[in-house]
Amino acid sequence: MPAERRYPLIVFDWDGTLIDSAATIVECIQAAAREMALPVPDEARARHVIGLGLHDSLRHAVPLLPRGQYADFAERYRQQFLAREDTLQLFPGVRALLERLARRGHRLALATGKSRRGLDRALGASGLGGYFVASRCGDETHPKPHPAMLLELLRELGAQAPAALMIGDTSHDLLMARSAGVDALGVTYGAHSAAELRGLAPLECIASVEALARWLETNA
């Protein structure tokens, strides 16, 4: 019989945590801004909004964009992303990590700022869909850093907050986890810096998928 796990439920972010997409997202935000003749956000500003909901992202990344043009910007961003999507790769070791966690008896879920359509497309292309028992997307409920995604996953799966662990690469992931009463790990190989993540006091900041696998083997 499997040993009892400290975190029977492990919830992952997608972009910048499982798939190496942060730089591409930045490029797409900048390209959409150029198309609309808006001031192009620098890399740090564009990286900061990864994982946020649409309105929060645009308010920060392109503050001069009128609200009436948010849908136009979002469509231009989407087209830029679709043109690059086939080039995105999982971080090395991700598939093996998920396989190992599933074999150990953990239930795995996703909480992502992606749209449902975007996540379904990404899971189909990566072949990872079968590892996850549930997911929440940014267009289905309150987006990060609001705790709704995690709270809804906990209710759906009949899990208690102390038995869940959130893993993400942004301060938005860690703030969401804190508000939901869920422990969190920050991974520093994605969108936000180690300094930003450490400022929110996660259990640990981890610099690679390999190191994440070791931490989970010992602590989860």
Residues designated catalytic: 13, 15
Task: Enter the tokens of residue 194.
Answer: 């180690």
Question: In angstroms, how far is CA 80 from the centroid of its own chain?
Answer: 19
Tell me how far apart the alpha carbons of residues 67 and 55 are, in angstroms, rounded to a whole number.
8
Tell me how far apart the alpha carbons of residues 96 and 76 are, in angstroms, rounded to a whole number.
35
Query: In a 3-state reduction of DSSP, which class is residue 154?
Result: helix
Q: Is 180 exposed, middle or buried (0-12, 13-18, 19+ CB in 10 A)?
A: buried
Tell me how far apart the alpha carbons of residues 42 and 22 are, in angstroms, rounded to a whole number.
14
